[in-house]
Structure 1
């Protein structure tokens, strides 16, 4: 990054604690600055060895900058990077570029960096107008769609970062020669380039479809939240009418007490006390309904799912396969509380992995949340 000191911020999300580092770039014209950058990079890895790594390559006219490759190789040699936790970003690209640009760059990167390349681990970002909020939001969504596929891994230091200023020119020349050799021979790699491009295009298409699907879920949840709020408002209005009726009856009893005998007055007093308690209970119920959130819309998570055949415990104690659940069924929820199924949402696996726990075969996607005895 274009910074001389590591920028650091801690955040908490879903009871998990995260630290975000913005680390200086490695290469400088002065060896003292290079050594300072090495220490900054070492410090970040030391503080958070279990991490995701996002490495940004700059480019000039679509060509990856040689110095960024040199810096990457030096860091990767010192802290061997795991493809499961690594995202390579090619930044600031023109929106209009050669047809198979992404496939060609991915294939070339395989030659010049010592890391296996997969379409899911290289993100190509267009140059944007920073003043345009729509373009910023689109870029953010694209980047996040890649980040959520990463899994943190521990990065163990193999040796110090080895890079001298006087070596940079030679290393850049080596990278330049490798790129030239690739370009000279890429006619022999056309099939591979097309295959890489297709993988990337398919990935982007899948990500867009998944995002649109999730947005539809969010919109549906928002509509359901609106309907639930309207239902709550109707309940409160009905309760207010009941409360007014109770208050009128309460006042009538108070007015009649003056004309009654002592025994009758005592009976009416007990009725008034019961009326007070009923009114208080009704008002508490109104407050509870008004403060109740209509629904929980989790925009930060991708849709999760169980595979067909997963058993769901019903309110009557029987089990039913999840694909046979219907709207209106009553299922058993947390703390053995019954819940009515309001709607069904069928998700497609679309290349995602399935996982299993407690010696069960795989049956759920990685995004699924589980409630345990500890929360």
Structure 2
């Protein structure tokens, strides 16, 4: 039982994660608690050992407590009673929860144990330390960073309270662990731990809870991987690409080609544009002339010519080896533009024909045989010297 003059250092975690080893490092005594790798070394009852010196302002008593998750309900019930008893004996304490690792992954049973104990006590952040113990020395360089982010998401504990300890291989490494633990504990403050309710865990639900925690871990790892891919290609983390409705930037495709090919394409494009401009000017002159003589065949021929011109432009663009840096109008938009042009020309023509028919009808009523008495509004607008025949 803890001394009344001390604060508690309560080490929690499942069997086999190295609680007894870390407790011995705190006490700087390899024989304080049995920590050999064997079935007999499993802690079944809470053990207390007082530290010889203070850490910061406090002198601590170290509690080595059984793990929570076991294979059968009887052992689970015994262990949860031991854990609750330790907090009753020394409620003013700092909690060190120890996680093991399985090929670099956080073990599902360790997450289950932490969640159930934390749910019963709601540990204060200022008196809680999470330790991932026994990590290999040949781990990836970003292992600590990624695992810290993962554990922070899984436990909602700030990363400043998460620490990693390598597997001890020498007396020097043991001493390094001792110094690290002292440094970490000195940053914390003991708090009173009051139980909200009993620790609850059923053996039948352990398998399901482990799978849920492992599934959640897989989801977070997948999100980390996706985030790394986005950073690699300089894509903002919150953005998504809409494959069905492309943005304005997605309408353009950049293709890296040899410089000589780009020069040839630009030259071909310039020549094509000159040809199209000359053809356009010729068609505009023909349009003006056709408006004056109102020849039906001429209108039809001009309409056909405009369609041929548009089809030629499309064919030339498709024959180019690369698309130049110009604004590309979608096919449906091009068709709409062409249709509007045809409608405008047709409307002008049929309006002119309608007025011509009306003029002929009026002339028949008045028995007037002059063909130049009436002109369309379009002809009048293009001929400033025209005067109303009634004023002649």
TM bracket (short chain): 0.3 to 0.5
Higher relative contact order (CA 8 A, sep 6+): 2
Which one has a bigger Cα radius of gyration? Answer: 2
